[in-house]
Amino acid sequence: MTPTRREKFSKLFPNQPKFRWKQIESALFQEKNHSWDDVSSLPIPIREKLAEELPWLSLKRVTEVGEADGSVRKVLLEAEDGARIESVLMQNKSGKYSVCVSTQVGCAMGCSFCSTGKLGLKRNLSADEIVDQLRYWSLSQTPISIPEPNGDTERKEIITNIVLMGMGEPMNNYESVREALNSILTNTGIGPTHITVSSAGVLPRLNKILDDKEWPPVCIAISLHSADPIIRKKIMPSSGPNFLPELAEWAEAYLKLFGNRSHYLTFEYIMLDGVNDSAEDAKKLAAYTKPLSRAKINLIAYNDAAGQFKPSSPEKIQAFMNIILAAGVDVTRRQSLGGAIQAACGQLAAGERD
C-alpha cells in the first residue's frame, strides 16, 4: 500500500517534534487552507519541501457530474497508483450536506444487486484516501464547509453527515477505516452520531468493535436485505449458514454497549420485486428485528444497478412498511438520491460499466 502522509512526513523530516504532525493534520481540515503554502503555522522551509514532495490531496479529480437541480454531485477520483473510486455529495431538504465515502477500490462481497461487487476487490484505500474524499468536497467548486471542532464556519452550507456507504466493505478495511474516522472526529466538528459505517455483516470485524477501545462510537448500518437465510444467501453470497442468529447476538451486545437515544443500529433493506418484498418477508423481518431495542429498519428503493432485478413498486413498499409498523418496529423509507447520475445506492462503479 502507498505510504501514508504521516509516514512520508516522518521520512522527509525525521527530527521534527511530535506536535508537528498534529499541527499538520489539523491544517489539512481548515477551510482557509488550499495548499501547503497556506499553512502559516509551519516554518517556510517545511512548507516548501512539502509542496515539492507531498500532494495536498492524495486523490485527484478525473470527472465530476451533478443532477440538474444541484442536489447531488458525484466525483470520479484517481489515486497516485491510478486506482479509481467514486464519492458522492448529497444535499438534504434543509440545505445541509452529506458525503458518501468509499473505503475500497472495488469490493469482494459480491452482492448481486450492487455494481461495485461486479468489479471484484482491487485494493483497500488508505486512511488518507478515505479522509480526502471528505476534504475534496470542501475544496471543490461547490461552496460547502467542513465544520471546525469549535463549531465555527464562515459558510451556511456545511457538511453535517458522513456515510461510509460507497465502494467497498468498510469492515474488510478495518484499520484504515478506524484511523480515518478518528482523524475526522478529532479535526472536524462532525460528531460520531453523524457518521454511519455500513457493513454487509463481516462478523469477525463487527465483534472486534465490541472490545476495541480505539473504535469510535459512530453509528452502524447493517445491510440485511432479508431475514430469510435462503433468500439472503441468494442475493448476498457472503452470507454464512448461521449468519442471522449470530448477527442478532452481536446486535444485542452492540446495543448494550453503544445504544442510546441518539445512537441506534440500522438494518438496511433494499426492496427487490418478487425477491424479498412479500408480506411473508415483511413478517420475518419484523420478527427478526423486534427483540432488538433501539434498532430500526431503513427500506431502500432499488436502483437499477446490476441489471438482473427490478424495483418494488411504491405501493408494494408501502404495504411492506405497514406490516412492519403494525408489528411495532421502527421503520423508515430512505429518500432516493442520485439515480440520474448513477450515484445512488449500489450504483458506484468507478466509471466501469458492463
Q: Is 111 a catalytic residue?
A: no
pLDDT of 246 reads 98
pLDDT of 220 reads 96
pLDDT of 73 reads 92
- For the chain, the three-class secondary structure string (H helix, E strand, C coil) is CCCCHHHHHHHHCCCCCCHHHHHHHHHHHCCCCCCHHHCCCCCHHHHHHHHHHCCCCCCEEEEEEECCCCCEEEEEEECCCCCEEEEEEEECCCCCEEEECCCEEECCCCCCCCCHHHHCEEEECCHHHHHHHHHHHHHCCCCCECCCCCCCCCCCCEEEEEEECCCCCHHHHHHHHHHHHHHHHHHCCCCHHHEEEEECCCHHHHHHHHHCCCCCCCEEEEECCCCCHHHHHHHCCCCCCCHHHHHHHHHHHHHHHHCECCECEEEEEEEECCCCCCHHHHHHHHHHHCCCCCEEEEEEECCCCCCCCCECCHHHHHHHHHHHHHCCCCEEECCCCCHHHCCCCCCCCCCCCC
pLDDT of 350 reads 52
Catalytic residue among 100, 111, 219, 345: 345
pLDDT of 67 reads 80
Could you list the mean pLDDT of each consecutive 10-residue stretch along the chain, which spans 354 residues?
87 92 94 94 95 96 86 93 95 87 96 87 97 93 74 70 96 98 96 96 97 96 98 95 96 89 88 97 98 92 78 96 97 69 51 50
Q: Is 86 a catalytic residue?
A: yes
- pTM, to two decimals: 0.91
Residue 82 grid cell: 491510478
Residue ranges of domains in the chain: 5-53, 60-341
Residue 208 grid cell: 472486534
Task: Write down how long the chain is.
Answer: 354
Q: Which fold has domain 60-341?
A: TIM Barrel (3.20.20)
pLDDT of 143 reads 64
Catalytic residue among 86, 169, 179, 268: 86
